[in-house]
Chains A and B, each alone.
Chain A
Amino acid sequence: MRIAIRGLGELCITAGLVLLLFVTYELWGTGRYTHQQQDRLGKELLNNWRSQRVTTEHVKLGSGLAMIRIPRFGTKYKYVIVEGVDLADLRKGPGHYPGSAMPGQIGNFVVSGHRTTYSAPFNRAAELRDGDQILIDTRDKQYVYKVTGRKVVQPTTVEVTAAVPFKPKDKPTKRLITLTTCNPKYSAAQRLIIFGELSAELPRRA
């Protein structure tokens, strides 16, 4: 009896240690994969931009589309935005919702990213204030968006990804950006949405 109880206790302690290690892996171990993928995608994207433009430019799911910089998060903050928002896409970095507008276009350029795990590109999204810049570099231009608002919504609130957020039937006239991420941190109960609007177009920065 005593042996059984001791064995059970030891098993519980072991399970606890394994769980701790798993949490460590989730929060920091997963970032290593994202960093590798970001390095690769960044090089691919720059090579692609340097080469001749093909007449019908179509970004494949899972490959790089644009570069995002947010000065509020520091000068080193830079991620390649991938096309697609599947689990596999978001592991590589922030993902662009296929079908939503491309950077600089009239409509809504919608990007989703991890708040925690996988290098957590949008970890500090809640710190963004109205007027903060979101810089999107593409082949030709850098689009400077300014934050215009934010909102916490339910995960099923698809209206925020519409060309005109919350008015899915309206015809878009503005050039908007929308960032979506998890809320609160370490949970997926809600979504934190950051809205922005194009304020300037500059020459591209690599």
Chain B
Amino acid sequence: MYAWIWRHLPGQWPLKTAAAAALVAVLATVLWYVAFPWLEPKVQFDRGVINTPSAPATPDRR
């Protein structure tokens, strides 16, 4: 996979390295600002609330 990407990047190695770094940066940014904020509420592992069965305002959505 990575070898295939490397072969398809344009130019000689300096340009290829720059393009690869840019790709990684774009991927990390998309993950950090889009994918992770969406995913985070679904895998919450830190919840300090005592689950009150009588209070519907605090359902256990862990």
Contacts and interface: CB of A to CB of B under 8 A. Distances in A.
A25 B50 contact: no
A180 interface: yes
Contacts of B40: 25-26, 30
A158 B51 contact: yes
B49 A180 contact: yes
Interface string B36-62: 100111001111111111110110111
Interface in B13-54: 28, 31-32, 36, 39-41, 44-54
B1 A7 contact: yes
Given A10-B1, A22-B39, A99-B55, A85 B28 contact: no
Nearest to B27: A18
A175 interface: no
B2 A112 contact: no
Contacts of A161: 50, 52
B53 A85 contact: no
A55 interface: no
Interface residues of B, number: 26
B41 A87 contact: yes
A117 B37 CA distance: 12
B30 to A, nearest CB: 11
Given A85-B58, A99-B55, A25 B48 contact: no
Interface of A: 7, 10-11, 18, 21-22, 25-26, 29-30, 61, 84-87, 90, 95, 97-99, 112-118, 122, 153, 155-158, 160-161, 180-182, 186-188, 191-192
Interface of B: 1-2, 28, 31-32, 36, 39-41, 44-55, 57-58, 60-62
5 contacts: A22-B36, A99-B55, A112-B49, A118-B46, A186-B46
The 4 A-B pairs at the shortest CB distance, nearest first, are namely A181-B48, A25-B36, A188-B47, A182-B48
Given A21-B28, A90-B47, A90-B49, 13 more contacts: A11-B1, A29-B32, A61-B57, A86-B57, A86-B58, A87-B41, A95-B49, A155-B50, A155-B51, A161-B50, A180-B50, A187-B45, A188-B44
